[in-house]
Amino acid sequence: RDVVRRVKYIVLDDFHVYSGVFGSHMYYLLRRLRRFTKPLYVATSATVGNPAEFAQALFQSDRVNVVWGPLGRRGRLIQALVRPKFRSKWVEAARLSALCIEQGMKCIVFTDSHKYSELIFRALKMAGRGDRVAVHRAGLDPEERRAVEEAFKRGDVDVVIATPTLELGVDIGDVDVAVLASIPPSYNRYLQRVGRVGRRGQTGYVIQILGNDPISQYYRNYPHEFFSRSPEPLGFERENEDIASLHILAAAADMPLRADELSPFERAVVERLLASGRLRRVGRFLRLTPEGRELLASLSLRGSPHVVKIKTTDGRVIGERELPLALYELHPEAIYMHGGRTYVSKELDLTKRVAVVEPTDAEDLMTQALEDMEPQVVEIYDEGAVEGVPYQFGRLRIKITVYGYALKRFTTEETLGEYSIEPLSYEFETKGAVFYMPYVRFSTNDALDWEARAKGYHAAEHVLISAAEIAIGASKTDLGGISYPDGVIVIYDSHVGGNGTARLLLNNFRRVAEVALKIVKGCDCADGCPKCVYSPYCGNNNKMLSRRNAIRILEAVLRGGGAPVLKEIPRERGIA
């Protein structure tokens, strides 16, 4: 405490990393520090689209000065967009990595999913190149990640396949080539990955692979937009109850806490902590209990306390996954990849937060969860209309039930079959928006019209979430959604408690809808394909989708035509 009280400056390098869940943690950490000292903040970044607004929110201060510096880099950079015709982008990434090994060039392959980083590693192993390749991603043991970093610096490894864990802040030495196997979720992230290459002044190469997905299709049709983008605005969720609870407990441990130090939202959180026995009142102060101290031990600034430990059948812990993602990836019979090895999940205990896996030789197989979803509005924060579309934004309770899985061939993504499992449910609260879209009829026959509407609104939900990657810099796992044939679309933060992305989508709804319409209009498929309305996270294996019907719905949205038929989430089953 004495050291903290003497702090005069707090410097935050790579300021752009403090968005989303990590930003929520940093917001509360800085609040706690200000109880001891009133420092001057200095933040640096080249990739924040709204520096003043973002800094004001994070530092809780209107006194923010933005200083702009020169742009430039040391060495020459060659950038290319590549669209393979006869291979998936994952196989193409493996092929380019193998070429780098042959040419003696050090290469990072970036993906935005731990699953696909493992798929690329698997493809390189199948091609006999696995001995010069390593995986670096979240969920691996920290010692395992450090070993990969050191091996890459020493030259023992030529290719590292990484999720955003290697975007910044880690010294890995010279890098000649960056292969981007998936389009970064934001231009900010693209610049960070590009910045890894050619740091010593040598010529650097950045190869962006386009695949058969909506974002790739968009930039194939509008390549000039790919290179003419600007850094996106950043945000975070202040009112994440889980994160606030942990930091309120931590603040009470730092020094006795008074209720008048807290916002109305935080005082409501305190009441729940008092009721659960994790805080107690002592006079005017709030103090930590042994139960609160036990919960506080789960505090991690970079993630969520809602994680599942992954164990092998002999009891060895090999990693962890956050919920609700763990439900999709580690349900019983799910194929799970870790460190280049393939496992099958034997058990997922959501009460104990443990998954048990065992090795398997299913090298060319992968699974995709089949799910039902039930959203419920718990509290409305605000409501109104955007582009004539009524909405409610607030706290939602989401119940996800995985009832089966699709078994697929990983090289072609061909579905080999769908299988049932004992249903497994997980319920959590988050933030999200409920949109009451224009009611569009497609047929005078009620049965045909219901099916057409179900396909259209489901496709519109998919493509709005895809468009959020381009319009607001959302990553593929930041948002989830569900649709109903009567025109209700729910889009929510997929992190427990919220991450601020659904609010960004709401605030930029017109831009998101415009990009979504360009995606579906720019595809030449018959009525829906992976390049326009399919999603790798679809809970019913991309059934009940119509590109043409989505066009009509999105056109109605953008011209402000058509009234909604409902003003609440239907009780019937939606389409996830």
pTM score, two decimals?
0.79
**% pLDDT > 70, the chain:** 97
Q: Is it the case that residue 305 has pLDDT exceeding 90?
A: no
**Mean pLDDT throughout 547-567?**
87
Q: Is 367 within 8 Å of 537 (Cβ atoms)?
A: no
Token reading at 167: 């975007």
pLDDT of residue 302: 65
pLDDT of residue 529: 92
CB atoms within 10 A of CB 400: 23
Q: Is 319 within 8 Å of 356 (Cβ atoms)?
A: no
Task: Show me where the domains of the chain are located.
Answer: 2-67+236-296, 77-211, 307-363, 374-404+423-558
**% pLDDT > 90, the chain:** 53
Which of the listed CATH numbers 3.40.1180.10, 3.40.640.10, 3.40.50.300, 3.40.190.10 matches domain 77-211?
Answer: 3.40.50.300
Highest mean pLDDT of the ranges 154-158, 270-274, 557-561: 270-274
200-247 confidence digits (pLDDT tens): 778 889 999 998 889 888 888 888 888 887 887 888 888 888 889 989
Q: Burial level of 53, CB count in 10 A (0-12/13-18/19+)?
A: middle
pLDDT of residue 208: 94
Token reading at 303: 């993630």
Helices (H), 195-300: 214-221, 223-227, 241-254, 264-275, 290-296
Q: What counts of helices (H) and strands (E) characterise the chain? A: 17, 21
Token reading at 455: 């396909």
335-394 confidence digits (pLDDT tens): 998 877 889 999 999 999 999 999 998 777 889 999 999 999 999 999 999 988 999 999
The H or E element spanning position 342 is strand 341-349
**Residue 353 and residue 373: Cα distance in Å, rounded?**
21
Sign of the C-alpha dihedral computed for residues 51, 55, 58 and 62 taken in this order: negative
**Mean pLDDT throughout 546-575?**
86
148-197 confidence digits (pLDDT tens): 888 888 888 999 998 877 776 666 778 899 999 988 877 888 888 888 88
Q: Burial level of 152, CB count in 10 A (0-12/13-18/19+)?
A: buried
* Best CA proximity match to 61, nearest among 52, 69, 70, 71: 52
Of 84-88, 202-206, 217-221, 397-401, give the lowest mean pLDDT range: 84-88
Q: Is 320 within 8 Å of 307 (Cβ atoms)?
A: yes
435-473 confidence digits (pLDDT tens): 999 999 998 898 999 999 999 999 999 999 999 988 888
DSSP letters spanning 225-246: HHHS--PPP----TT-HHHHHH
Q: Is it the case that residue 300 has pLDDT exceeding 80?
A: no
**Residue 492 and residue 498: Cα distance in Å, rounded?**
8
23-62 confidence digits (pLDDT tens): 889 999 999 999 999 999 999 988 888 899 999 999 999 9
Of 93-97, 131-135, 454-458, 555-559, give the lowest mean pLDDT range: 131-135
